[in-house]
């Protein structure tokens, strides 16, 4: 299994965990060195955020967006057309099956001292700690 930690600001973190936001736009994409499911863990960043890991979802697939983002994808990303256009080129990460952690998990619990600027890979051990917090 591949595990990635994403920094996400409110209100987008809440929209992801409610299932309203189905696409996440990022300037970069992970390189998958092994096959298998990809779990995205959410670090809620920003002045109004928990500043902790609050949940997870699954990554279905990635699409490279070079000069255009379809209206339906813009709507499902919970952004404006102007914001979508200004973010090009980018990758659209299709996400599904969101799960909220019962309690926010500080980064220090998985051995990190600061959140990723956008995203970072997690080790199997770090992901196992987070999975145990779901129980």
Q: What is the pLDDT of residues 65-84, one digit of tens each?
A: 999 999 999 999 999 999 99
- CATH class of the domain whose range is 2-62+94-134: alpha beta
Question: What is the DSSP track for 57-109?
Answer: EEEEEEEEESS---HHHHHHTT--HHHHHHT-SEEEEEEEEEEEEEEEE-GGG
Total-model pTM? 0.94
**Which residue's structure tokens are 């696409």?**
23
Round the average pLDDT of the chain to a whole number and report it.
94
Cis check: omega of the bond before 11, within 30 degrees of 0: yes
Q: Tell me, what's the pLDDT at 114?
A: 94
Q: Tell me, what's the pLDDT at 105?
A: 97
Q: What is the pLDDT of residues 109-132, one digit of tens each?
A: 999 999 999 999 999 999 999 999
Residue 56: pLDDT band (50, 70, 90) is very high
Give the angle subtended at the CA of 60 by the CAs of 57 and 66, to the nearest 5°: 115
- Other CB atoms closer than 10 Å to residue 96's CB: what's the count? 10
């Amino acid at each position: 299994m591949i595990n990635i930690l994403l920094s996400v600001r409110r209100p987008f973190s809440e929209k992801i965990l409610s299932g309203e936001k189905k696409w996440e736009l990022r300037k970069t994409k992970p390189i998958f060195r092994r096959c298998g499911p990809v779990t995205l863990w959410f670090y809620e960043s920003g002045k109004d955020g928990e500043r902790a890991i609050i949940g997870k979802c699954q990554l279905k697939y990635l699409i490279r967006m070079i000069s255009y983002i379809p209206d339906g994808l813009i709507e499902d990303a919970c952004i404006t057309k102007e914001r979508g256009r200004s973010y090009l080129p980018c990758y659209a990460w299709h996400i599904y099956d969101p799960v909220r952690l019962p309690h926010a998990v500080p980064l220090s619990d998985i051995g990190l001292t600061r959140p990723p600027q956008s995203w970072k890979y997690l080790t199997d051990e770090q992901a196992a700690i987070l999975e145990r917090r779901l129980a």
